[in-house]
Homo-oligomer: A and B are copies of this chain.
């Protein structure tokens, strides 16, 4: 698993490709937009690094899965988000909710298990939720969220909206039966224009310690969607401009047709699987190093400077600003109170009820 040659290495490559493909929607790749995306990726990176510290300090419990190295994927795709769209993913969910506009303080406080947390301290890292902003949750059972997303998409057309669902899934989830059943339903319902679901495979090449080629004899993950009549393509997930182009084109298409579409983004987590994945026996230092060289933030930084959109000082400034923000964020999380004990018994049933058997 060494990085494939990027199709978008040089300056302007994106524009060229767009022209070639005659791409549907206008993807703003002007400087301002790119700087904005850059800031978002830095936000995610800085946030994730702070969570890693929090975990090592024992302030964050349970599992913690960070998105370091993969930033370009969610950042690019969520650029195509429109009001009323829905987004769902697994447990590696911090970036999605941040990109959709959740307050980083509330997200961090959630990880710290505080009452000010995004879901009141009930879910933790794996179960972020922000329905107002379109984020329909992070889920912990690999593959288990895929059917839900297909259901969202059906409901979007049932209600006759032109919204779509962005459904993120890991390479590891593809071997799971839930993937098969749900994507098949999506393809089937799509025949009637009843499933505007954009599947985004975050192929970081490993499910925990298992590489894709140790999970299946047919490793072209995008092509797996052929079995369900779902059109698909691949994109270099380390290159935010490339992602951006596909994201808008694919989202528009799904929105128009009500049919699903799948994009496999080839990416890499340069961090361990979870904060407790110490040894990483399943991959070499060298492999990690090679991928680090293609770091999505580094790549964009380089391009922005080369294109004179921003200079090194400007970059420094963004990073420093983000660090300052993150200090605030962490302070907020640390200083917040634990959830009140009564919260243990709320939100079990709508309308109340706990059924301890001691009511009667």
Contact = CB atoms under 8 A, between A and B. Distances in A.
Interface residues of A, number: 24
Nearest to A182: B177
Nearest to A225: B227
A175 B229 CA distance: 13
- Give this chain's copy count: 2
Interface in A89-112: none
A180 B173 CA distance: 12
A223 B227 CA distance: 7
A189 to B, nearest CB: 9
A215 B188 contact: yes
Contacts of A190: 217
25 contacts: A175-B180, A175-B181, A175-B184, A176-B177, A176-B180, A176-B181, A177-B180, A179-B180, A180-B181, A184-B215, A184-B217, A187-B217, A188-B214, A188-B215, A188-B216, A190-B217, A191-B217, A216-B228, A217-B228, A217-B229, A217-B230, A218-B227, A223-B227, A226-B227, A227-B227
A318 interface: no
Contacts of A191: 217
A178 interface: yes
Nearest to A218: B229
A157 interface: no
A177 B181 contact: yes
A191 to B, nearest CB: 5
